[in-house]
Chain A
Amino acid sequence: MAKVRGHRGGSPTIDMTPMVDLAFLLVTFFMLTTKFNEPDPIAIDTPTSVSTIKIPDKDVLTISISKDGRVLFNMDGQYNRAELLNKMGTIYNVQFDKREAHSFALLSSMGIPMGSLKQYLDMDVDERKLVSQPGIPTDSLHNELADWILQARLTNRRLRIAIKGDRDSNYPVVKRVIKTLIDKKVNRFNLITNMEKAS
């Protein structure tokens, strides 16, 4: 082969096959390990800690608390989410159709009260980004968060609960959330933090 090539004198060919093999191997690896989590509608800057426990991969219910005290709810698992929405619908007398359940399953964190959730789910994705989410009501009189937590736990028994609070959020909101958790007999939960920067 080499002899023949030499005669032609054209550009030397490099066998790229191993490189391509490697490239595709890496592509496959990253494709399988990537998890696309939708960005939170509200940016949350978590406090730092020295804790080194990692958050579990699945069965996590995240309650986010934004800087201005809005409470957002998130749970993983698409099937569980759709089921949860139906359960919540029965409690609050809101009928959700299949399409709405599907778009709820694909949502990330959301802070929409039950009253306007149906309307929110009917919007398309671009429209939703423009809506400012008021947060889930947590007052003692009208505590939707408590229902979300209870129903989520009934839907997925292995659920772990994590609070993702912004470092500057006010303590009373955090206290209300923790109180709601304890009322619902969740005594063990996680606080999501960042790695402490070496100082």
Chain B
Amino acid sequence: MAEISQGGGDGGKKGGKIRSKKTSTRIDMTPMVDLAFLLLTFFVMTTTLQKPETMEITMPEKDDKEPPKVNERHVLTLIMGPSDKIYWYIGITDPEVKVTNFSKEGIRKLLLTKKVEIPKLIVLIKSMDESRYKNMVDILDEMNINSVQRYAIVDITKTDKDLIKESRL
């Protein structure tokens, strides 16, 4: 099968002496080929060429500087609630809390309409303790998809919790 015939057979011997059979040094390559393919299969199967993706986020530095003042009418607050709910409201004084979800009709539509309504939109992302890590990644993803330029992840306050409790959504 896999073998090299060495010695070239009838090199210069035109005389055709049949008995001059050279003890040709043939190497049986079969085991080597077997091994080569075994290794090949092994490495093909174990290699992972795909690397996971990452999302880069930059958090503001922790300092005691006064945070920049913004017009409260430009601020959209999103609160990640339990069981994948998103509570949202605009402004700070007596806001009306509404609820939405992570579907295309939910948060994406909300962000797109708000972006048109409020050109200087700032989004505050707050997460309740009941929310999952997935919610945070999803909402950051939505920010990227809808190209919301200004957003921040902030801690939830007691006022927020009370607002949600009052709204009974």
Smallest CB separation, B139 vs chain A (Å): 11
What range describes how many residues of B lie at the interface? Answer: 35 or more
Segment among A24-32, A116-124, A143-151 that sits at the interface with chain B: A24-32
Residue of B nearest to A188 (CB): B58
Q: Write the B13-57 contact mask toward A (1 if CB under 8 angstroms, else 0).
A: 000000000000000010011001101100110111101111111
A130 within 8 Å of B by Cβ?
no
Query: Which one of B51, B53, B132 has the greatest number of beta carbons of chain A within 10 Å?
Result: B53
Question: Contacting B40 at CB < 8 Å: which of A11, A17, A27, A48?
Answer: A27
Q: Write the A44-58 contact mask toward B (1 if CB under 8 angstroms, else 0).
A: 001111111111000
Question: Contacting B60 at CB < 8 Å: which of A162, A187, A192?
Answer: A187
Q: Is there an interface contact between A174 and B136, defined as CB atoms closer than 8 Å?
A: yes
Q: Write the B54-88 contact mask toward A (1 if CB under 8 angstroms, else 0).
A: 11111111100000000000000000100000000
A193 within 8 Å of B by Cβ?
yes
A contact residues around B55 at 8 Å (CB): 49, 51, 53, 190-191, 193
A132 within 8 Å of B by Cβ?
no
Q: Is there an interface contact between A193 and B46, defined as CB atoms closer than 8 Å?
A: no
Q: Write the B87-124 contact mask toward A (1 if CB under 8 angstroms, else 0).
A: 00000000000000000000000000000000000000
A167 within 8 Å of B by Cβ?
yes
| Chain B binding surface SS class | mixed
8 Å CB interface, A66-107 against B:
none
What range describes how many residues of A lie at the interface? Answer: 35 or more
Q: Is there an interface contact between A30 and B52, defined as CB atoms closer than 8 Å?
A: no
The verdict on A50 contacting B56 (CB below 8 Å), with A30-B47, A171-B135 known, is no
Q: Is there an interface contact between B53 and A13, defined as CB atoms closer than 8 Å?
A: no
Q: Is there an interface contact between A191 and B137, defined as CB atoms closer than 8 Å?
A: yes
Q: With A and B bound together, what is the CA distance between A193 and B137 in angstroms?
A: 8
Q: Is there an interface contact between A20 and B33, defined as CB atoms closer than 8 Å?
A: yes
Q: With A and B bound together, what is the CA distance between A182 and B48 in angstroms?
A: 33
Q: Is there an interface contact between B134 and A47, defined as CB atoms closer than 8 Å?
A: yes
Q: Is there an interface contact between B137 and A20, defined as CB atoms closer than 8 Å?
A: no
The verdict on A188 contacting B56 (CB below 8 Å), with A26-B40, A47-B133, A169-B133 known, is yes
The verdict on A171 contacting B133 (CB below 8 Å), with A1-B10, A27-B36 known, is yes
- Listed in ascending order, the chain A residues whose CB lies under 8 Å from chain B are 1, 3-4, 11, 13-17, 19-20, 23-24, 26-27, 30-31, 33-36, 46-55, 65, 162, 165-172, 174-175, 178, 181-183, 185, 187-196
Across chains A and B, which 10 residue pairs bring their CB atoms closest together, nearest first? A30-B43, A167-B134, A190-B54, A16-B2, A23-B36, A47-B137, A165-B133, A47-B134, A51-B55, A191-B55
